[in-house]
Amino acid sequence: MSLTLTDILEEEIAAGSFPGGAALVGTAERIVARAHAGRAAVVPEDAPLDAATLFDLASLTKPLATGALVLAAQRDGLDLLSPPGRFLPPFKKTRYDGITLEMLLLHTSGLPAWFPLYARGEGAAAYRRTLGGIEPETLPGTAVVYSDLGILVMGDVLENFFGAGWDRLFTDLVGSPAGSGIRYLPAKPGRCAATEEDDATERSMTAALGLSYAHFRTGVVRGEVHDGNAFRRGGVAAHAGLFGTAEDVWRLARPWLDPGRRDFTRDRTPDLSEARGLAWQGPRGAKSIPAESFSSDAFGHTGFTGTSLWVDPARDEIVVLLTNRVHPRVEGDFNAVRRRFHERVLEEEIGRR
């Protein structure tokens, strides 16, 4: 008996992989299968999940917002071989020598993966000062080190380049033209899937760095971005902060099937440990998919809250998985769940029957 997307979601929910989720398989032209199952929240109260539930997309923000805005900026003359300091005076320091905008997008700048910027001061201006003083950990261009910090720097560059705020840029240049309801700062928190309780993950990570911060949230986070650096930047950031449904994600993914965007999504790091495009990831070295099942032209991204998006031009296929796997706490290896999901979607030929 063939499985449906609903069956796959319900099996993972029964296994304890996440309280609730939504999934979609589509092409450039249409949605061919979609489903939702489970709960939007289980604490402090139980809440149902439906097709309109908004998920915290976490790092899907990187390609869907930042990648798309970089594409728009390139059309207006932005040179990705420029150094960040051409746009941001704090980044003219020696520690940024050799780093280009392209490296920020490829995660090869050498900047650390993460730092609680809010521990040095909250808000965009304070973040910019702190980022300007963070030392790279590897030589530029020598390794892929997935870095929220590099994408934050890229966001500052784009705001400077366009002369406008990030949320306005996203809405005007990306969200509205695609007809997508994805948004920052959701107006109705009760429509959102809940995430983590007590900022537990970042509380622990901050302590592990020997730092302190007095304003971690208590209780379950719902209707606010889970990521602490995005939240304390005002909820609007280049690396995290978008909320939406599976259909919203599909609408933003559709334009990326255009062959004219292939230069953005191709493997630009062939000599390094994993395939990276401009704000996108390729199958080589990816832990979230069975790489052998996707074409070499495929590209995608994941998000810490339990989200993923993979696009395969060879199959004209877009696959979206959104969950609240961090609710009420973070447990287990979620990449194993992502791989199982994609294996089942491909095995069952969902959307191709």
Express the helix, strand and coil content of the chain in percent, nearest 5 each: 40, 15, 45
> In tens digits, what is the pLDDT along the chain, a chain of 353 residues?
689 999 999 999 999 999 999 999 999 999 999 999 999 999 999 999 999 999 999 999 999 999 999 999 999 999 999 999 999 988 877 778 899 999 999 999 999 999 999 999 999 999 999 999 998 999 999 999 999 999 999 999 999 999 999 999 999 999 999 999 999 999 888 999 999 999 999 999 999 999 999 999 999 999 999 999 999 999 999 999 999 999 999 999 999 999 999 999 999 999 999 999 999 999 999 999 987 889 999 999 999 999 999 999 999 999 999 999 999 999 989 999 999 999 999 998 886 75
Please tell me the predicted confidence (pLDDT) of residue 97: 87
Residue 71 lies in a domain: yes
**326 touches 40 (CB < 8 A):** no
User: pTM of whole model > 0.95?
Assistant: yes
| Rounded-to-integer distance, Cα 204 and Cα 56, Å | 21
Residue 268 lies in a domain: no
**100 touches 80 (CB < 8 A):** yes
Residue 148 lies in a domain: yes
Residue 217 lies in a domain: no
Six token digits for residue 284: 């080589």
Instruction: Give kind and range of the element (H or E) at residue 154.
Output: helix 148-162
Residue 189 lies in a domain: no
Residue 262 lies in a domain: no
Close Cβ partners of 167 (under 8 Å, ≥ 6 residues apart): 184, 185, 236
In the sheet that 299-303 helps form, which strands lie side by side, from edge to edge?
A: 47-48, 31-41, 20-26, 317-323, 307-312, 299-303
Please tell me the predicted confidence (pLDDT) of residue 82: 96
Residue 35 lies in a domain: no
Radius of gyration from C-alpha coordinates of the chain? 19
| Rounded-to-integer distance, Cα 82 and Cα 225, Å | 31
Q: Which of 170, 215, 224, 231 is nearest to 195 (CA)?
A: 224
**47 touches 41 (CB < 8 A):** yes
- In order of 15, 37, 213, 221, the CA distances from 328 in angstroms are 16, 17, 21, 9
Six token digits for residue 332: 């287990």
**136 touches 110 (CB < 8 A):** yes
Please tell me the predicted confidence (pLDDT) of residue 351: 67
Q: Half-sphere exposure (CA, 13 Å, Cβ side) for 310?
A: 27
Q: Which of 155, 151, 70, 156 is nearest to 106 (CA)?
A: 151
Quick check: helix, strand or coil at residue 200? helix
Quick check: helix, strand or coil at residue 94? helix
Domain count, the chain: 1
Please report, for the domain that includes residue 141, its CATH number.
3.40.710.10
- In order of 41, 256, 273, 288, the CA distances from 317 in angstroms are 30, 11, 26, 17
Six token digits for residue 46: 């139980």
Show the domain range for 157: 67-175
Residue 38 lies in a domain: no
Going 281 to 230 to 22 to 341, the CA torsion angle's sign is positive
